[in-house]
Amino acid sequence: MVTEEQAKFFDKNGYLRYGKVLEPSEVEALIEGLDRVVNIELEGGDDSSVEFSVGHRRTIKETQDEPRVLTQYVNMWKRDRDYEKTVRHPLITGIAKTLLKTPEVRLWHDHIISKPPKDNGHFRFHQDFYGWPLSEPSILSCWIALDDATVENGCMHVVPGSHRDPCFAPEAKKKELAALAKDPTLKTERVKMEERHASFGVPVELSTGECMFHHCLNFHATPQNTTNRQRRAFVIIFIAQGVCFNRAQASHHCLVPIIEVNDGEPLVGSGFPVVS
């Protein structure tokens, strides 16, 4: 499933280019499910859960005001059986448990992230953790290519080891926020990283059906898709046992309204199922 060497690589570098996890027929089923959801969204959308409207256009405009940095469809597992099967995929969840060193993994959320030709931009370096209302960085993402992902069409670029760099750790972030509140022009290491082009990172090219994992404190970015092909990925975010709701870190996150536990309590509930 995952070798000791792969687990060590992940610990040291904060990412792992794993390889094939889905068969072509499984990818095809996911693409069909996505097309169906996109059509529903373009015909007015499904508002049966708050996050379904997030991250994408619900109308096709003749001229786009601004290219979207990325196009997103959150919690596909609630909308399509094949996606639900994929978030519980034994190989994927088994690797996630090993890399997170946890007896069980819970789903934080999944999403399709796509860079459609002619409507996408450069997604700058960031660490996922600080965008989520969660208590500790025992979280990882599995990024599955639904199209061949290359440098030209905006594959993932990672900064190896950045997840262990004390400059970018939660304690440093707190101090930095306080310093930036006093002087918003401060050029901290984080600000410098955020301003770098994706090419600063290591590209992780993948073929359709292959995946990579990244730690939630690992800096990553994706460049613009400069081709005429789609670049679609299905991303599953797993949390280790015991991660709690931490509202203050990202109080406006789209999933906050469906969190049923109190602030500070372990995140549980039907919206965040244990998947292995």
Sites of contact with ligand AKG (CB under 6 A): 70, 113, 115, 123, 128, 141, 143, 154, 220, 222, 233, 235
Q: Are strands 210-215 and 15-20 parallel, antiparallel or unpaired?
A: antiparallel
CA distance 202 to 221: 10
Closer of 72 and 268 to ligand AKG (Cβ):
72
Closer of 13 and 141 to ligand AKG (Cβ):
141
Which long-range contacts does 190-198 make (Cβ < 8 Å, 24+ apart)?
A: 193/125, 193/159, 193/162, 193/168, 193/219, 194/124, 194/125, 194/126, 195/124, 196/125, 196/221, 197/122, 197/221, 197/223, 198/122, 198/123, 198/124, 198/125, 198/157, 198/222, 198/223
Decide if 275 contacts 105 (C-beta within 8 A): yes
Written as six digits, the tokens of 94 are 């088994």
Written as six digits, the tokens of 82 are 């094949």
Comparing every residue's Cβ against ligand AKG, the nearest one is 222
Closer of 96 and 113 to ligand AKG (Cβ):
113
Closer of 170 and 266 to ligand AKG (Cβ):
170
Task: Give the nearest distance from C-beta 132 to ligand AKG in angstroms.
Answer: 10
Task: Give the nearest distance from C-beta 62 to ligand AKG in angstroms.
Answer: 25
Closer of 48 and 228 to ligand AKG (Cβ):
228
Task: Give the nearest distance from C-beta 144 to ligand AKG in angstroms.
Answer: 10
Task: Give the nearest distance from C-beta 83 to ligand AKG in angstroms.
Answer: 16
Closer of 143 and 238 to ligand AKG (Cβ):
143
Residue by residue, what is the 3-state secondary structure of 182-196?
Answer: HCCCCCCHHHHHHHC
Provide CB contacts within 8 A for 106, sequence distance 6+.
238, 239, 240, 241, 243, 267, 268, 272, 273, 274, 275
Task: Give the nearest distance from C-beta 129 to ligand AKG in angstroms.
Answer: 10
Task: Give the nearest distance from C-beta 183 to ligand AKG in angstroms.
Answer: 28
Strand order in the sheet with 156-158: 123-126, 220-222, 156-158, 202-204
Closer of 253 and 266 to ligand AKG (Cβ):
253
Task: Give the nearest distance from C-beta 185 to ligand AKG in angstroms.
Answer: 27
